[in-house]
Chains A and B, each alone.
Chain A
Amino acid sequence: MYTLAHSFILCSLLQRPGMHNWIELPGCQYITGTTCDFSSVKLSVFEKIQLRIRAEKGNRTSPWHEVGSFIPFRKAQIGPPKVHLKAEDKAIIVNISPPGTKDSLMWAMDILSFTYSVVIWKNSSSVDERTETVYPGGKIYKLSPETTYCLKVKARLRLHRKVGSYSPVYCVNTTVENKLPSPENIEVDVKDQSYVLKWDYTYENMTFQAQWLRAYFKKILGNHSDKWQQIPGCENVRATQCVFPQKVFSKGAYFLRVQASDGNKTSFWSEEKRLDTEMQTVILPPVISMKSVDNSLHIYIGAPRETENKSTSQHYPLIYEIIFWENTSNAERKILQKKTDFIVPNLQPLTVYCVKARAVIEDEKWNKSSVFSDILCEKTKPGNTSITWIIAGVCTALFSIPVAIYVVKGLLRCINYVFFPSCKPPPNIDQCFSEQSLKNLLLSASEEQTERCFIIENSYSLVTVEETSQVDEDHKQYSSQTSRDSGNYSNEDENSGSKTSRELLQQGLV
């Protein structure tokens, strides 16, 4: 700190990081005081800067004193906001302008982030103080008419951990109580595809009108009375409610307000009710289908039935809450599932189980869920009983019998081939032989050769003995037949020959 015994002149320079030139700081050249204002400098308040100062007197200069580098925004403190008050009978409208001037660079990017807290008390007694957080164009309600209220406001930037200083105290008188009170207890409900706006009013035979405003207008400064718009279907209604279609409001947040009128006079506007269309979205219940598999249930959760075309089909991240119970008892079991296709195992066989499910938005803070779906009941299958095994056994047997027969047949053929081969030569072997005699040799066809033996005696009795080899009766029937005994072979000529000799013998003897 330089004390001013003589007219010291202070000079200060500015440097930006990354640049090696010191620049003269406008508004801080040749200052005779110990403070200077360099607000006019067009620099970014988020850039790190360095300052250095020296004193000059005539030709002599002191060495530079460097101030460490800093970001102006970080060092900045929030000043008092400017407040403009307007009183009603039971409320005060607090129009707050953010700290700094309109062109100030410091808070230009944070205007939306300011939160304002108001401390208000009755001028007569500073005991009952109230602290409230208000929007820039906000109102303080629940006041008494014809009373002097005083308040002070401070701004706060919570994210950057900055708290501003209080504004000076402002006082205002609330007006005489209005003959017509404002409507109270505004509620918004959803019914089918419409919103139902309801409110309470003490008197009868009044007409009402309702207006809406986009929520963000409340956060930016200024008087937005011209931005309020009529809600269609809510102008001059006689009932204490009005209905308007949902598609009036696209997705977003709004404020609604209602005013009463008796033809001549109007009341003040009611408290503003915030409507968040996202909070009003109706989640449709899912559609369940079930299948019983042994002693468990396979549950499928399907998308809800779309009743009408929604302009934006919101596919929120959902989890499903499934409740199931035995039809006879009331003991309910709850499962939370994210998958849409799962199995509930280990249930009692041959029991009827009932299931219902609902969709829940997957978020800790938002407690939104659909209504429960229709109840579906299904009986579990018998499961591991003997009947199943019997059926299985019978089927296996039926299938295996032809297989066994086929296998056995094959085996028998095999055995026959190995142990009892037949001596038939291959059928086309006669092609290999051209000579008939050889053929006959190999392929003897006819019956067995029978050798006839004659025993001739000196007696007159003739005994004809026929010797036949062992021949099957069947073989006589065939003309060409091989015999079993490979040695014997028959000759047709000889047979006929032997016949005739027999006849001759008989004739000779006679």
Chain B
Amino acid sequence: MTTGCILQIALLLCFSITALSRSFNLLQFQQRSTNLECQRLMMKLSGTPESCLNNRTNFEVPKEIEQPRQFQKEDAVLVIHDMLLQIFEIFGKNLSHTGWNETIIENLRSELSDQIDRLKAILDENTEEENPTWENSTTMLWHLRNYYTRIVQYLNAKSYSSCAWTVVWTEIYRNFSFISTLTDYLQN
């Protein structure tokens, strides 16, 4: 066997051992499960013509979310909890112009709500101890909430039209990929 062949096999073994030895905790598993389920349900919502995407606005995703650096587990829980909360709220607004299936929306909100409850239980535990890094964490939270405020203000301004919802759908779907990245930081 050539040395190149041996090197490849050695590298493959190293990677697979590393991948298999990562221990997932239950929370991470549940979060991943929620992420997948929500994306699956969102795909089931019927889309509108591509012309709507011409109205795309830059909602200015906070940099800490778009390109996260090293996140503490508590901060990751805080951020993911808030993101899911806001997405839950957004899908509770006026959807009459979209023609989306109500049952799918209910399933989506149900899935979000359950995961929000699980994350909230952990957050309630953490807030019992006075956390010195609370100030830094909340700064990130204000940036995140400003971002979602912009999305809601956009929907308001466009009177919850079908096209506006398509743009928001795209943005929310993108949110789930950010959440997936942050889920990696839920390890102990």
Contact = CB atoms under 8 A, between A and B. Distances in A.
A303 to B, nearest CB: 15
Contacts of B116: 112
B85 A215 contact: no
B114 A215 contact: yes
Per DSSP, chain B at the interface is helix
B8 interface: no
A252 B89 contact: no
Interface in B110-150: 110-111, 113-114, 116-117, 120, 123-124, 127, 138, 141-143, 145-146, 148-150
B26 A317 contact: yes
A47 B149 CA distance: 10
B2 interface: no
Given A47-B146, A109-B145, A112-B113, A316 B26 contact: yes
Contacts of A108: 89, 152
B24 interface: yes
Contacts of A112: 85, 88-89, 113, 116
B117 to A, nearest CB: 8
Contacts of B149: 44-46, 109
Q: Which of B26, B33, B127, B146 has the most CB of A within 10 A?
A: B26
A211 B111 CA distance: 20
A338 interface: yes
Contacts of A111: 89
A317 B25 contact: yes
B88 A47 contact: no
B107 A159 contact: no
Contacts of A109: 85-86, 89, 145, 148-149
A219 B152 CA distance: 21
B146 A46 contact: yes
Nearest to A314: B33
Interface string A202-246: 000000000000111001100000000000000000000000000
Interface in A285-300: none
Q: Which of A48, A112, A219, A363 has the most CB of B within 10 A?
A: A112
A316 to B, nearest CB: 6
Nearest to A252: B110
Contacts of A45: 149
Nearest to A216: B113
A46 B145 contact: yes
Interface in B166-182: none
B26 A214 contact: no
Interface in B150-170: 150, 152-153
B142 A46 contact: yes
Interface in A80-123: 108-113
Interface string A44-62: 1111100000000000000
B142 A73 contact: yes
B50 to A, nearest CB: 31
A253 interface: yes
Nearest to A276: B114
Contacts of B23: 317, 338, 362
Nearest to B150: A44
Nearest to A316: B29
Contacts of B24: 317
B124 to A, nearest CB: 6
Q: Which of B89, B114, B123, B141 has the most CB of A within 10 A?
A: B114
Contacts of A158: 124, 127
A317 B28 CA distance: 10
A77 interface: no
Contacts of A338: 23
A71 B149 CA distance: 14
B106 interface: yes
A159 B25 contact: no
B157 to A, nearest CB: 10
A338 B21 CA distance: 10
B127 A250 contact: no
B127 A161 contact: yes
Interface in B1-53: 23-27, 29, 33, 37
Interface in B49-107: 85-86, 88-89, 92, 106-107
Nearest to B142: A46
A216 B89 contact: no
Interface string A298-320: 00000000000000001011000
A220 B110 contact: no
A361 interface: yes
Interface in A245-288: 250-253, 276, 278
A247 to B, nearest CB: 14
A417 interface: no
A290 B116 CA distance: 43
A366 interface: yes
Contacts of B124: 158-159
Contact of B110 (A44, A71, A73, A253): A253
Contacts of A252: 107, 110-111, 114
A316 B25 CA distance: 9
Contact of B107 (A42, A73, A215, A250): A250
A131 to B, nearest CB: 18
Contacts of B127: 158-159, 161
Contacts of B106: 214
A219 B123 contact: no
Given A158-B124, A252-B107, A276-B114, 13 more contacts: A44-B149, A46-B146, A109-B85, A109-B145, A109-B149, A110-B85, A112-B113, A214-B106, A250-B107, A252-B110, A253-B113, A317-B23, A317-B25
Interface of A: 42, 44-48, 71, 73-74, 108-113, 158-159, 161, 214-216, 219-220, 250-253, 276, 278, 314, 316-317, 338, 361-363, 366
Interface of B: 23-27, 29, 33, 37, 85-86, 88-89, 92, 106-107, 109-111, 113-114, 116-117, 120, 123-124, 127, 138, 141-143, 145-146, 148-150, 152-153
7 contacts: A46-B143, A71-B142, A108-B89, A108-B152, A252-B110, A253-B114, A316-B26
